[in-house]
Amino acid sequence: MKTKVSIVKCKDYERIKVEQAVRKAFDLLGGIGTFVKKNEKVLIKPNILSVRIPEDGVCTHLEVIRAVVKSVKDCGAFPFIGDNPGGSLSPAKAYEGYGLISLAKEVEVELKEAKGIKVVNGIPIASYFFESDKIINLPKMKTHILMGITGAIKNMYGAVAGLHKSGLHKKFPSPEEFANVLIDTFKIVKPNLVLMDGIVSMDQDGPSSGRLRNSGLLIAGEDSVAIDAVFAELVGIKPLSVATTRKAYETKLGEADLRNIEVLGENIKDSLINDFEIPGKLGLAVILGPFAKFAAGFVKFGPYINKRLCKKCMICRDSCPVQAITIDLKISNINLKKCIRCMCCHEVCQYKAVGLKKNLLARRFGL
């Protein structure tokens, strides 16, 4: 049997439209009751990357989260919400800044924080991920300056709490090595259902400073690998050119061959997102592969701090796994000799003060 993925169009985040589109996306798969049963505890895992507002298009939109909470409650199950933002930022600050605390009170669900850690195969996972019967993954359709695109597989890296993420970046600095960490994490907290928020997507310098696109799509399915494969096809790249998709497919964690994926609802041809710009064409992981950490001396690229935009909040400094960032009253600077190009600073900066600079050779590579 083919793996099923549904594509549903939704023009904007008007509450009724989103609720109807989410219901349709699940109904095409047999209904949410196929995946969630009465009295089950269901973790809803959005993408809450940093302190942003919904209009920034960085995080899973609040109305998508609201609609999924309602669907789970309609099954007689008990939803709760949890994610771990990047770097040193606490979940509570990210939740509050995004408006998620207000939403949680309104829909009467609990917001989880990582009070405890469970280490599985060397990966430190927030303990509440093991307190659920089911996990629903709500990734945002975005590019990623390190990995090319970020979708269903990579969103589960949010199960790793706080600065443990930075520690893993330090231990596994190249994009190919880091892709293995993402796959190892995904194996541990593999979700039961996925709904990708592509109503507004992000290309260019995602996942936090890219260009917003009115893509008008929700993508749903049980198979995270198939979701990411369809995402790649919609934006004009080969699914197996994405390291996380390829590695997950090779290790039989899901389906990435489009011939074995049945797309329901809208078809791929009519849902293509034209001129979707992937950073570095296919991302640094594809271009530099395992040689990324050695390439800095020749193909020079790396983050820099725009001093005009920097608010000296220190989140990037405190999140850097190799202490390459200096910020004080006079200085906001990244030491590229120490930098491992993990781009954590770029991800966590809510002020878009961290950019990417490139030398001529890097630009010739399309980075």
pLDDT at residue 291, rounded to an integer: 54
- Reported as type and span, the H/E element at residue 28 is none
Place of tokens 């008990």: 78
pLDDT at residue 190, rounded to an integer: 98
pLDDT at residue 321, rounded to an integer: 92
pLDDT at residue 296, rounded to an integer: 44
Low-confidence spans in the chain with pLDDT less than 50: 281-287, 293, 296-297, 299, 361
Percent of the chain with pLDDT over 70: 91
pLDDT digits (tens, 9 = 90+) for 43-90: 999 999 988 999 999 999 999 999 999 999 999 999 999 999 877 788
| All residues at 6 or more sequence positions from 179 whose CB lies less than 8 Å from its CB, including other chains | 147, 243, 244, 247, 285
Given 243, 271, 299, the domain boundary residue is: 271
Single out the residue of 115, 114, 137, 119 nearest to residue 43, CA to CA.
137
Half-sphere exposure of 219 (CA within 13 A, CB side): 31
Q: Is residue 283 part of a domain?
A: no
Do 204 and 75 have their domain in common? yes
Question: CATH code at 266?
Answer: 3.40.50.11440
Do 134 and 173 have their domain in common? yes
Given 209, 244, 271, the domain boundary residue is: 271
pLDDT at residue 341, rounded to an integer: 85
**Cα–Cα distance, 187 to 327 (Å, whole number):** 37
Q: Is residue 132 part of a domain?
A: yes
Q: Is residue 53 part of a domain?
A: yes
- 3-state SS track over 122-135: CEEEEHHHHCCCEE
Residue 326 structural domain: 288-364
Do 267 and 295 have their domain in common? no
Q: Coil, helix or strand for 159?
A: helix
Q: Is residue 281 part of a domain?
A: no
**Whole-model pTM?**
0.91
Do 243 and 304 have their domain in common? no
Tokens of 47: 């993408």
Q: Coil, helix or strand for 146?
A: coil
Tell me how many domains the chain contains.
Answer: 2
pLDDT at residue 281, rounded to an integer: 46
